[in-house]
Amino acid sequence: MKRIIGLSTLFLAMTLVCCKSEKRVGENPFFAEWNTPYGVPPFDRIEPDHFLPALERGMSLHDAEIDAITSNNDEATFENVILAYDNSGTMLAQVALIFDMLCAAENTPALEKIQVEVAPLLASHADKILLNGKLFERVKEVYDRRATLDLDDEQMRLLEKTYRKFVRAGALLDAEQKARLKQINEELSLAAVKFGNNIRSENNNYVLMLSTEELEGLPANVREQAREKAAQLGKRDKYAFTLQKPSLIPFLTYSSKRELREEIYKAYLNRCNNGDEYDNKQLINDFIRLRTEKAHLLGYPSYAAYVVDDEMARTTEAVYGLLDEIWTPALDRAKGELAEMEALFRKDVPDGEFASWDWWYYAEKLRKQKYALDEEMLRPYLSLENVQTGIFFLANRLYGITFRPVVVPLYHPEAVAYEVLDADESHLGILYFDFFPRDGKSQGAWCGNYVEQTYDGEGNRVAPVVSIVSNFTRPTANTPALLTLDEAETLFHEFGHALHFLFHDVKYRGLTEVEGDFVELPSQLMENWAFDPEMLKQYAVHYRSNEVIPQYLIDKIRNSRLFNQGFMTTELIAASLSDMDIHSMTEYAPFDPVAFEREALFDRRGLIPQIEPRYRYPYFSHIFDGGYSAGYYFYTWAAVLDKDVFEAFRESGDLFNKRIADDFRRKVLARGGSADGMTLYRDFRGKDPDKIPMLRSRGLWTDPEPADSLAAMPAPAGKVPARDVPVK
């Protein structure tokens, strides 16, 4: 979430290193320069009640900086308008960044209250600036004279992005339209907070509490995790299963109790769809009503058209073209997978009907039958410590960077921090990890900044402070954290985002962001190395015996790499299509989101009932409160890019080719949004991206030597500005 993705604040008082009694009354760490190692936030001194005053002061300072630009009577220039605007609002941006990042990792009822209060304030403040007529006049004055100005490529890019940002925010609207747009944006900001908080509450409120007799089929480590969770809840003689993925997926995969698989999966599917205080269906209506009206105000037929116009795809037709091309072969492959599982299902349930909560269970049975591969036999080789060692090894092998544990302020006791050193041992940045689920943390995994890479007034690079947050399987009293294949791959994915942030070397703040459908390229590219045989031999070591993963297990992983790809691709594309469909409405009328989803996916496109879309609307956080509205297709669009980039390594004959890695760092990772995504891609690859490697990786292309390349992406119509980088 990409990433990527409106979040919020801080942590419980018990997580603070310094207690309140040690602080001076009224002290706010945001009001003074941080005296912290490596410039990290002073987490040991920040309290929730510091945020509102800091945000208010940040907004006030920002207003003054904007007033200085608009009251300047000199001729508008790049320096006194565009650069001055780019340099404005630094305090507000820094406080808001920490506020948003920390909320996702450690929220509380008190902090939710702060979110509700500040969300409309921040939205109103942003609109006051972007809809400021005098400010836009000066921006436009510079933009209209751009052909006569002596600007380098980055300055021209910043000018064009700044102008387009104002236009897309409504700068060309009349006074009445601007007033309505402000109302819409405030309402949307509040709806996003409520939507995300409802999901968090639903996740926390459900527990499936079982006795020993109900654990049939579950491996020992899954039982141990559930036993420790139940003990935390005061039920020492029980086993607790939750809707967190490290608990849910193993239960669906191994429990032979079909009625219990049905119960927990339905609870997962029906989150925020139960007609109670956490029901999100009305909020979904509010989102679509407001977003559609906003698109119309800005001159677009739908909100999807508005969003995509600012991405690499440029048009909804291009997005649908890619998704539709994948949909049919993926669904056909999934139907074939279902047919194979049906034979196993009939032995257990002769008169029953295969259901969605059966898929993981029988897929695992089928994998054992076809490949003699049981994921539980792999987990001892995938301890979290070893997988982390693997990503550090890969980063060093490709880019020459190293990682050194450091003692810095932490926002939670479970977080850990590393200094990242460049190949010449210079300081590149700080990287936090926060691995395990807890009640205050949002589901999923993501990567973002606490401090963004910038340049100070003296031309010195300000190093970023980056954080990877996840919800991986916890260690138990008897075993370390042992990851699934999916969790291991997720860590490689988020680490790719972290490298993108760490390698940023961008001169202007307004050029740090990239297009949403480009942002997943660095993260998905890293996944390609996760289970490469040479990589596995480096990090997949048995946590007890220290035995390197044997070749026969590596062969099993390789031979089964296309297993269940039909299912995984179908549920991904289904979610992408449902996102595009709901945001492609050209006129809003009240609707039932559940019925809309069923008509769009099952009735019209033929999705089989045994597969649910990866996310259903009531808990589709990516598109309603996570920055991926009309953008869940980003993962698929970027997959075309990442697989084609990896082809460059394959073609070289060396998957760890340092020259290619250095080119990718210099021409893509370091440049941020200093050029549009397609320009960056072509500069690195020397050609347009090819869809065939992506299709082949999903088992949807079988010709090993295709005669013709399939160009995947349309040429950009001019330079396209980037959007906010969402958290994944």
Q: Given pLDDT bands bounded at 50, 70 and 90, which one contains residue 709?
A: very low
Distance CA 357, CA 464 (A): 43
**Residues with a known catalytic role:** 494
Q: What is the DSSP letter of 689?
A: -
pLDDT > 70 in the chain, percent: 93
Q: Does the pLDDT value for residue 152 go beyond 90?
A: yes
pLDDT at 723 over 60: no
Binned at pLDDT 50, 70 and 90, residue 96 comes out as very high
13-130+132-172 and 287-373+564-624 in the same fold: yes
Mean pLDDT in residue range 497-504? 98
Weakest mean pLDDT among 236-240, 324-328, 497-501, 702-706: 702-706
Sequence spans of domains, the chain = 13-130+132-172, 206-269, 287-373+564-624
> How does the average pLDDT of the chain come out, rounded?
92
Mean pLDDT, residues 349-359 taken together: 97
pLDDT for the residue 7: 30
287-373+564-624 fold:
Neurolysin; domain 3 (1.10.1370)
pLDDT at residue 711 is higher than 90: no
The pLDDT of 702-719, averaged and rounded, is: 42
pLDDT at 112: 84
Tokens in use for 570?
């179908």
pLDDT at 191: 97
The pLDDT value recorded for residue 111 is: 79
Kind of pairing between the strands at 208-210 and 454-455: unpaired
658's tokens: 């340092």
Residue 539 burial by CB count (10 A; 0-12/13-18/19+): exposed, middle or buried?
A: buried
Q: Residue 457's pLDDT is what?
A: 87
> Of 183, 246, 177, 552, which is closest to residue 373 (Cα–Cα)?
552
pLDDT at residue 108, rounded to an integer: 75
> What is the DSSP secondary structure assignment for residue 444, as one 8-state letter?
S
Residue 350 to residues 265, 345, 346, 357, 370, Cα–Cα distance (Å): 22, 7, 4, 17, 22
Encoding tokens for residue 214?
């109900």
In CATH, the number for domain 13-130+132-172 is 1.10.1370.40
- State yes or no: pLDDT of 587 exceeds 70: yes
152-169 per-residue burial string, b: 16 or more CB within 10 A, e: under 16: eeebebbbbbbbbbbbbb
Q: Is the pLDDT of residue 717 over 70?
A: no
Which spans in 298-442 are helix H? 303-308, 316-348, 359-371, 375-378, 384-399
Whether the Cβ atoms of residue 61 and residue 53 lie closer than 8 Å to each other: no
Q: What is the DSSP letter of 383?
A: B
How sure is the predictor about 704, in pLDDT bands with cuts at 50, 70 and 90? low
